[in-house]
Amino acid sequence: MQYIAPEKISDAVEALSQAKGSVHLLAGGSDLLVRMKGGFIEPDVVVDVKRIKSMGKIKKAGGGFSVGGAVSCAEMGDNDALKKAWPGVVEAAQLIGSDQIQGRCTVVGNMCNASPAADSVPALIAADAQAVIQGPKGERRISVAKFAKGPGQTSLKAKELVEAVELPKRPAKSGDAYLRFIPRTEMDIAVVSAAVSLTLGAKGVVREARVALGAVAPTAKLVPAAAKALIGSKLDDAALEKLAAACAAACAPIDDKRGTIKFRTRVASVLGRRAALIAYERAGGKL
């Protein structure tokens, strides 16, 4: 196995282009190394992105933020400006694993691993985040909502890598929130999760909304009907009922020992509702 640790994006793209056999990118390694040790993959080439300086930073970009693919979730938690603008994204990132994992794991790795239960992804989708992709044909952007194609499958083409995720400029009176349900109080994989991002207009009326669910379908998904239920409301009971119904309708979960279809569906609407209430409060709304 060959291990390459380039220092520039262009070198990384070059290394990906040259590499033969099975090639894997390495960020924090908290998914990749687990899969290697478990014998599920046997890479011929590993390209480590952690030495690429431009990927190791959280930058202000276009009024929003750009979180590099080598930024650990712990670093996100230490960034006050990011936390203030996107508390839901940061709380999702900080739910991943434990302190030890936090020091290694990245939201880009979380997204590229493409688990339907990945914690940061619903929050990124609700935030309308964009993935910045670099490849032999240069740079392209794709909405995080469209990034995953199925469990373990992404829309990355061969020889491409994700440089960063970009979070858009935040209007005043905005708030987001992420909640997950796990069988234990910590360190487990989401059985269901929900993220809500809101922007309020005059008098606390919701002007914009995005709602995303995790672990209820092959990929985390945006639920436009749920967002629609909230827009124009002050999160009155009727709006929340509609939101809950839309969340339940969007679910196509699996049935396993961790949670039945019925349970996941029902809890998706409970979490959607609770996340909406938290996001509303964070946006300055009063119930």
Partner 1 sequence: MSNESIPARFGSGQSVIRVEDRKLLEGSGSFTDDFQPDGQATLAFVRAPHAHARLRAIDTRAALEMPGVVAVYTGADLQAAGVKPLPGVADGWKRADGSPANAPARHPLAVDKVYFSGQPVCAVVADTPAIAAAACEAVLIDYDTLQSIADPVSALAGNAVRIVDGSSDNLCAEMRHGDAAAADAAFSQAAHIARLQLVNQRLAPSALEPRSVLAWMEDDRLTIRLSSQMPTGVRNTLAEPVLGMDADKIRVVVGDVGGGFGMKTGLYPEDAVVAFAARDTGRAVKWIATRSEELLSAVHGRDIQGSAEFALDADGRVLAYRIKTDADVGALVNPTGVAIQLMIGPWVATSIYDIPVIDFHYRAVLTNKAATGAYRGAGRPEAIYLTERLMDEAARVTGIDPAEIRRRNMITASQMPYRNPMAQTYDSGDFASILDQTLALADWHGFEARRTRSAGQHKWRGRGMAAFLEWTGGMMFEERVTMEVQADGMVDVMTALMPMGQGIATCFAQVAIDVLGIPIENIRISHGDTDRANGFGSAGSRSIFTGGSAVKVAAVELIEKSRQLAADQLECATADVEYGDGQFRIAGTDRTMGLFELAAGQPDRRIDIDSTSSVDDSTWPNGCHICEVEIDPDTGAVQVVSYVNVNDVGHVVNPVIVVGQLEGGAVQGIGQALQEHVIYDEAGQLQTGSFMDYTMPRALEGCVYQTQLDQSIPCKNNPLGVKGVGELGTIGATPAVANAVIDALLRGGADAGRVAQLQIPFTADKVWQVLRG
Ligand X SMILES: Cc1cc2nc3c(=O)[nH]c(=O)nc-3n(C[C@H](O)[C@H](O)[C@H](O)COP(=O)(O)OP(=O)(O)OC[C@H]3O[C@@H](n4cnc5c(N)ncnc54)[C@H](O)[C@@H]3O)c2cc1C
Q: Which residues bind ligand X (CB under 6 A)?
A: 24-32, 34, 49, 69, 95-97, 101, 104-106, 108-110, 112-113, 118-119, 156, 161-162
Task: Decide: helix, strand or coil at residue 39.
Answer: coil
Residue 105 binding: pick among partner 1, ligand X, none (C-beta 5-8 Å cut-off by kind): ligand X
Q: How far is the CB of 3 from partner 1 (least distance, A)?
A: 19
Which of 171, 197, 25 shows the shortest CA–CA distance to 106? 25
Residue 187 in the binding site for partner 1 (CB under 8 A): yes
DSSP notation for 221-257: EE-HHHHHHHTTS-S-HHHHHHHHHHHHHH-----BT
Task: Decide: helix, strand or coil at residue 232.
Answer: coil
Q: How far is the CB of 248 from ligand X (least distance, A)?
A: 23
Q: How far is the CB of 206 from ligand X (least distance, A)?
A: 28
Which of 217, 222, 273 shows the shortest CA–CA distance to 245? 273
Site residues (CB under 8 A) for partner 1, limited to 237-276? 257-260, 262-263, 266-267, 270
Residue 35 in the binding site for partner 1 (CB under 8 A): no
**Do the strands 192-200 and 45-48 form a parallel or antiparallel pair, or are they unpaired?**
unpaired
Residue 71 binding: pick among partner 1, ligand X, none (C-beta 5-8 Å cut-off by kind): none
Q: How far is the CB of 115 from ligand X (least distance, A)?
A: 6
- The smaller minimum CB distance to ligand X, of residues 189 and 245, is found at 189
Which of 200, 191, 220, 225 shows the shortest CA–CA distance to 123? 220
Q: How far is the CB of 112 from ligand X (least distance, A)?
A: 3
Q: Which residues does 145 contact at the CB level (< 8 Å), separation at least 6?
A: 125, 128, 212, 221, 222
Residue 214 binding: pick among partner 1, ligand X, none (C-beta 5-8 Å cut-off by kind): none
147 token code pair:
């990034």
Cα–Cα distance for residue pair 67/101, rounded to 1 Å: 18
Residues that bind partner 1 (CB under 8 A): 181, 183-189, 257-260, 262-263, 266-267, 270
